[in-house]
Amino acid sequence: MSEENVQTVREMTARFNRDGYMPEDLFDPDVEFFNIRESPLPGPYKGYDGLREWRGGVFEVVEEGRFEVDDLIDVDESDLVIFKTRLLGRAKHTGIEVDISWTTVQWFRDGRIYRSESYTDRDEALEAAGLSE
């Protein structure tokens, strides 16, 4: 299942950047979505309505926003993927360039994302995933 989970993360990002929406078919209907705690929009966002609410909040603040992912770590035995996320764009009200990075942990069930949590500290993300370096 591991390579499929990594491909799902890549597809999620590509489709979001293309369409501007989280592709609901890649998420469990009961998904829980959490931004970093320091975010003005920390969440949780629940279900498909939550994904749409999250998207609306992000684009209220950031225009021309797009995501990049790299440093993907597949944890096959735990059915999760850890990756670095980067948001690029421009602050809507000030025009200042946005370039923010964090680490995301996504848990999978039956090939779909059912939980997504983001952390400013990579070690904290690894700990949340049950891993330690």
CA dist 105 and 117 (Å) reads 5
Asked whether residue 42 carries a pLDDT value surpassing 50, the answer given is yes
Is 62 within a domain?
Answer: yes
Is 12 within a domain?
Answer: yes
What the block records as the tokens of 55 is 């998207």
Q: Tell me the average pLDDT of the chain.
A: 91
Asked whether residue 103 carries a pLDDT value surpassing 70, the answer given is yes
Sole residue written with tokens 């809507």? 92
- Of 11-20, 38-47, 112-121, the range with the lowest mean pLDDT is 38-47
Is 130 within a domain?
Answer: no
HEC assignment per residue over the chain: CHHHHHHHHHHHHHHHHHHCCCCHHHEEEEEEEECCCCCCCCCCEEHHHHHHHHHHHHHHHEEEEEEEEEEEEEEHHHCEEEEEEEEEEEECCCCCEEEEEEEEEEEEECCEEEEEEEECCHHHHHHHCCCCC
pLDDT tens per residue across span 76-99: 677 999 999 999 999 988 999 999
Is 94 within a domain?
Answer: yes
Is 133 within a domain?
Answer: no
**Domain encompassing residue 106:** 2-118
The mean pLDDT of 98-112, rounded to a whole number, is 94
pLDDT at 1: 44
Give the CATH number for residue 105: 3.10.450.50
The total number of structural domains in the chain stands at: 1
Is 127 within a domain?
Answer: no
Tell me the whole-structure pTM to 2 decimals.
0.90
Q: What percent of the chain stands above pLDDT 90?
A: 68
